[in-house]
């Protein structure tokens, strides 16, 4: 019985790390395909890495196999898949003609992804679970990958995509290290009406995306990326100009 229990513990330890290894592999696979000029394959590899990254934590919680080792390993894999892979894809796909400027923009993406992951590891116990602080690196990497598919599907020429991609790389880099809040959806309770509305919205998004995902992934990613800054701006405007300050009435002297 002890042997079976020991084997079960080993299996539960390796299972989540197997998904983390898959995340790392597809990040590496994306980098290799970026070097070869297979940009569409590199983009899809980032999507698969994102899927594997979403599973490893859930499997660890399900099997009660969460560990400090798993957390560190996951961060290292994320740096490859959501830092190095999209940075290489950005450079070889669109930023190489800019020379040193393109290299700096690609490195800025990688650097900010690394800083974002380090900050997340340090602050994850103290931040509000409903929000991410800064754009999560998997979403930034997904925005890059979806941009590749979007441009390819529209058949846009290189001269058109290059300047916009430079702006995209720098904007995503800044968004990752910013303090802008992005909704995490970790607090959703499946019995509430609000959660039902979110699930309905996700279902509609899936229906819209499914017929032509290459054309719809990037607009959906752009909405999420811009949602954070727009939300922060609207909250600032509301507090600055529209928030009503209650007037305290002076008590009558007796």
CB 20 within 8 A of CB 52: yes
- The H-assigned helical ranges of the chain are 2-36, 39-63, 68-79, 85-90, 100-123, 137-154, 158-177, 193-209, 213-237
* Domains present along the chain, CATH in parentheses: 2-235 (1.20.120.1760)
CA–CA distance, 2 with 10 (Å, rounded to integer): 12
Token pair belonging to 181? 């809040």
| Residue 253 pLDDT | 47
CB atoms within 10 A of CB 190: 8
Token pair belonging to 58? 């859930």
CA–CA distance, 194 with 55 (Å, rounded to integer): 25
Counting Cα atoms < 13 Å in the Cβ hemisphere of 181 gives 13
Residues 6+ apart with CB under 8 A from 144: 43, 46, 86, 89, 90, 109, 168, 169, 172
pTM: 0.81
Q: What is the 3-state secondary structure (H, E, C) of 67-122?
A: CHHHHHHHHHHHHHHHHHHHHHHHHHHHHHHHCHHHHHHHHHHHHHHHHHHHHHHH
Any idea which residue has 């020991």 for tokens?
6
CA–CA distance, 241 with 137 (Å, rounded to integer): 33
| Residue 50 pLDDT | 92
The per-residue pLDDT string of the chain (254 residues; one tens digit each, 9 = 90 and over) reads: 455 555 556 655 677 888 899 999 999 999 999 999 999 999 999 999 999 988 877 777 777 767 778 888 899 999 999 999 999 999 999 899 888 999 999 999 999 999 999 988 887 766 666 778 889 999 999 999 999 998 888 876 555 566 788 999 999 999 999 988 887 766 555 555 555 565 666 666 666 666 777 788 888 888 888 888 888 888 778 777 776 555 555 545 44
CB 144 within 8 A of CB 208: no
| Residue 254 pLDDT | 40
Torsions phi, psi of 131, nearest 5?
-130, 150
| Residue 189 pLDDT | 55
| Residue 208 pLDDT | 63
């Amino acid at each position: 019985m002890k042997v079976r229990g020991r084997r079960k513990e080993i299996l539960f330890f390796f299972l989540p790390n197997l998904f983390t290894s898959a995340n790392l592999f597809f990040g590496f696979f994306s980098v290799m395909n970026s070097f070869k000029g297979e940009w569409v394959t590199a983009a899809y590899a980032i999507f698969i890495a994102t899927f594997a990254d979403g599973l490893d934590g859930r499997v660890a919680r399900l099997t009660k196999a969460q560990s400090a080792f798993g957390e560190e390993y996951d961060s290292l894999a994320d740096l490859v898949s959501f830092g190095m892979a999209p940075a290489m894809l950005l450079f070889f796909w669109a930023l190489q003609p800019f020379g040193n400027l393109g290299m700096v923009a690609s490195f800025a993406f990688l650097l900010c992804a690394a800083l974002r992951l380090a900050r997340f590891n340090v602050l994850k116990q103290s931040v509000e679970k409903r929000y991410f602080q800064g754009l999560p690196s998997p979403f930034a990497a997904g925005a890059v990958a979806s941009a590749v598919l979007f441009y390819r599907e529209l058949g846009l020429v290189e001269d058109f995509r290059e300047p916009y991609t430079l702006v995209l790389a720098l904007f995503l880099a800044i968004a990752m290290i910013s303090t802008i809040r992005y909704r995490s959806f970790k607090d959703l309770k499946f019995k509430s009406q609000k959660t039902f509305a979110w699930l309905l919205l996700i279902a509609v998004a899936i229906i819209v995306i499914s017929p032509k995902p290459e054309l719809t992934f990037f607009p959906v990613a752009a909405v999420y990326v811009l949602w954070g800054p727009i939300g922060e701006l609207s909250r600032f405007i509301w507090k600055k100009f529209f928030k009503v300050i209650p007037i305290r009435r002076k008590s009558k002297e007796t």
